[in-house]
């Protein structure tokens, strides 16, 4: 008989009964029926069949919970613009009346309307407005969250956004990864002088990084954003600080953005609807993750699909994220993004789940989560479902019973 662990080696918690989707393999859900999952000091200490537990359940852990349903890794939302003020519902109406994304942006709407709102808001105002959105994501299974700046577009307001992102993580008890996206749009005070603005973006970066506010660097490389040459300048500044890069790449046209990320061994290329075969090959060679953002695709009623089959054939990992933002993706559920990815992009439910867990974690440079494996961070979600495919099937509804981050119940 297996000896009963002493008090010091007892697990902090143990859940028994649910099936497990471990994703701890390259294919399949990694299903374990009538499973058990335990954690200690924020890490998974046991993952497997309940019948194989090394002793009496009550003697193994300080807290033992009997449950049913399914447990998956906690979801990772690897691309959001969640910190903002106000909304852009009127722009939604304008698009339905025939205005294009570019029309709205060039008329002073789009990103610049959010910039005006963010600049007018205090840090506490921004936190108060953003917290319900973050809570909605957590309630639907998210245990790790990426948040970008990019609606401040000056040093003080970019700092304000990044500080709010950090505070959200503290309030919710989750890890928030912050991304510096000052190269998002040209602010009015730099109108007509994008080069001077990029000078400022490069100048602010080491200041904010020195304050512990930046985990990665992003840019909007597009005809209505910044050129590849300007983006390269931002990436070179990031490289000097040993910061990883990612990119809003090839959303509206092919400027070679995904290939540019690959040239800098970046974490991810995001959107990628227009990415070329050459860029896909470069992503595959450099291990760049393709982050699919079906919420924006859906809201903008796009028709140009990302090169999904090329990603599959060349082994480019595909992540799925909400792109939560006030203009083109007012989406507050990563599970809904998974459903949209299945519907619009024809991902399988398994691909969508991997896209919102292990592949999304890798898109943030995180390799300690996204799977249920001994030693991984104890981030997991308990679902009221019969099979994991339901996570990519249901449109809306509340399926998540609870989320744990680092072994702590957070909602």
The structure's pTM equals 0.95
The binding site for Fe(3+) comprises: 79, 81, 248, 323
With 0-12 / 13-18 / 19 or more C-beta atoms within 10 angstroms meaning exposed / middle / buried, residue 374 is middle
Please give the pLDDT value at position 247: 98
Radius of gyration of the chain (CA): 21
CATH number corresponding to 11-73+371-409 = 2.30.40.10
141: phi then psi, degrees, rounded to nearest 5 = 110, -5
Taking a C-beta distance cutoff of 8 angstroms, is the pair 370, 359 a contact?
yes
> Residue 350 half-sphere exposure, CB side, CA atoms within 13 Å?
11
DSSP 5: P
The pLDDT of residue 3: 39
> For residue 279, what are the contacts with CB-CB under 8 A and spacing of at least 6?
249, 250, 254, 256, 257, 258, 259, 262, 269, 272
CB 12 within 8 A of CB 62: yes
Say what the pLDDT of residue 8 is: 60
Query: Which amino acids are annotated as binding site for 4-imidazolone-5-propanoate, given as ranges?
Result: 88, 151, 184, 251, 328
Binding residues for N-formimidoyl-L-glutamate: 151, 325, 327
C-alpha angle with apex 180: 192 to 183, nearest 5 degrees? 15
Compute the distance between CA of residue 180 and CA of residue 314 in angstroms, rounded to an integer.
30
The per-residue DSSP string of 28-68 comes to S--EESSEEEEEETTEEEEEEEGGG-SS-HHHHBS-EEE--
Domain residue ranges of the chain, discontinuous segments joined by +: 11-73+371-409, 75-363
Q: Which of 74, 70, 73 is nearest to 18 (CA)?
A: 70
DSSP 393: T
d(CA 338, CA 24): 20
The label of the residue with tokens 């570019």 reads 102
The per-residue pLDDT for 96 is 87
Tokens of 254: 């092919």
Distance between CA atoms of residues 363 and 142, nearest Å: 15
Cα–Cα nearest to 181, from 205, 145, 212, 207:
205
Which pLDDT does position 161 carry in this prediction? Answer: 98
Angle at the Cα of 125 (from 121 to 127), degrees rounded to 5? 120
Instruction: Write down the pLDDT at residue 5.
Output: 44
| 230 and 183 Cβ atoms separated by less than 8 Å | yes
Q: Measured between alpha carbons, how far is 172 from 192 in angstroms, rounded to an integer? A: 41
Q: Return the closest-CA partner of residue 162 out of 217, 102, 95, 86.
A: 217
Write out the binding residues for Zn(2+).
79, 81, 248, 323
Maximum Cα–Cα distance across the chain: 76
207 forms beta bridges with none
Query: 2 is written with which tokens?
Result: 């297996």
Contact assessment for residue 17 and residue 51, using Cβ atoms and an 8 Å cutoff: no
Please list the pLDDT of the chain residue by residue as tens digits (411 residues).
233 444 468 999 999 999 999 999 888 999 999 999 999 999 999 999 999 999 999 999 999 999 999 999 999 999 999 999 998 888 888 888 988 877 887 777 788 899 999 999 999 999 999 999 999 999 999 999 999 999 999 999 999 999 999 999 999 999 999 999 999 999 999 999 999 999 999 999 999 999 999 999 999 999 999 999 999 999 999 999 999 999 999 999 999 999 999 999 999 999 999 999 999 999 999 999 999 999 999 999 999 999 999 999 999 999 999 999 999 999 999 999 999 999 999 999 999 999 999 999 999 999 999 999 999 999 999 999 999 999 999 998 999 999 999 999 999
The residues with which 292 forms a beta bridge, in sequence order, are: 320
157, 165 in Cβ contact below 8 A? Answer: no
Architecture of domain 75-363 in CATH? Alpha-Beta Barrel (3.20)
Q: Could you list the beta-strand ranges (E) of 120-174.
A: 142-148
- Sheet with 216-221: strands ordered across: 75-77, 142-148, 175-183, 216-221, 246-249, 268-271, 289-292, 318-320
Distance from the first to the final alpha carbon of the chain: 37
Residue numbers belonging to the annotated binding site: 79, 81, 88, 151, 184, 248, 251, 323, 325, 327-328
The whole-number pLDDT of residue 28 equals: 94
The tokens 């025939």 sit on which residue?
98
Give pLDDT tens digits for 120-155.
Answer: 999 999 999 999 999 999 999 999 999 999 999 999
Question: What pLDDT was estimated at residue 226?
Answer: 98
SS3 string, 326-341, reads: CCCECCCCHHHHHHHH
Rounded CA-CA distance 20/28 in Å is 12
Q: Which of 101, 86, 82, 138 is nearest to 297 (CA)?
A: 101
Q: Are strands 246-249 and 175-183 parallel, antiparallel or unpaired?
A: unpaired
Tens digit of pLDDT for each residue in 255-264?
999 999 999 9
Backbone φ and ψ of 239, nearest 5°: -65, -35
State the pairing for strand pair 318-320/289-292: parallel
């Amino acid at each position: 008989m297996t000896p009963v662990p002493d008090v010091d080696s007892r697990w902090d918690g143990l859940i028994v009964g649910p099936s497990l989707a471990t994703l701890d393999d390259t294919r399949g859900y990694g299903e374990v029926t009538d499973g058990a999952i335990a954690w200690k000091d924020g890490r998974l200490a046991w993952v497997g069949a309940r019948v194989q537990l090394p002793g009496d359940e009550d003697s193994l852990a300080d807290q033992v919970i009997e449950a049913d349903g399914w447990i998956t890794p906690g979801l990772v939302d690897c691309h959001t613009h969640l910190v903002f003020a106000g909304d852009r519902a009127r722009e939604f109406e304008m698009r339905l009346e025939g205005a294009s994304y570019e029309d709205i942006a060039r008329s002073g709407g789009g990103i610049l309307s959010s910039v005006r709102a963010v600049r007018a808001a205090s840090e506490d105002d921004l936190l108060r407005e953003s917290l319900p959105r973050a809570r909605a994501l957590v309630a639907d299974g998210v245990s790790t969250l990426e948040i970008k700046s990019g609606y401040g577009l000056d040093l003080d307001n970019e700092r304000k956004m990044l500080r709010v992102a950090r505070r959200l993580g503290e309030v919710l008890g989750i890890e928030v990864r912050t991304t510096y996206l000052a190269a998002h749009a040209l602010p009015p005070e730099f109108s007509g002088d994008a080069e001077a603005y990029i000078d400022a973006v490069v100048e602010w970066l080491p200041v904010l990084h020195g304050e512990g506010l930046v985990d990665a660097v992003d840019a909007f490389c597009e005809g209505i954003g910044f050129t590849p040459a300007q983006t390269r300048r931002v990436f070179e500044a990031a490289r000097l600080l040993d910061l990883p890069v990612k990119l809003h790449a090839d959303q509206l046209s092919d400027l070679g953005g995904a290939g540019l990320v690959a040239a800098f061994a970046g974490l991810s290329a995001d959107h990628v609807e227009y990415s070329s075969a050459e860029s896909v090959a470069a992503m595959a060679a450099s291990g760049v993750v393709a982050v699919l953002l079906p919420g924006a695709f859906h809201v903008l009623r796009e028709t140009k699909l990302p090169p999904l089959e090329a990603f599959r054939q060349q082994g480019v990992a595909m992540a799925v994220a909400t792109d939560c933002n006030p203009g083109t993706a007012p989406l507050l559920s990563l599970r809904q993004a998974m459903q949209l990815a299945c519907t619009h992009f024809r991902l399988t439910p398994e691909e969508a789940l991997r896209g919102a867990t292990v592949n999304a974690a890798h898109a943030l440079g995180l390799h300690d989560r996204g799977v249920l494996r001994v030693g991984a961070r104890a981030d997991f979600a308990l679902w009221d479902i019969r099979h994991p495919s339901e996570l990519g099937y249901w449109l809306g509804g509340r399926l998540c019973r609870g989320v744990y981050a680092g072994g702590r119940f957070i909602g």
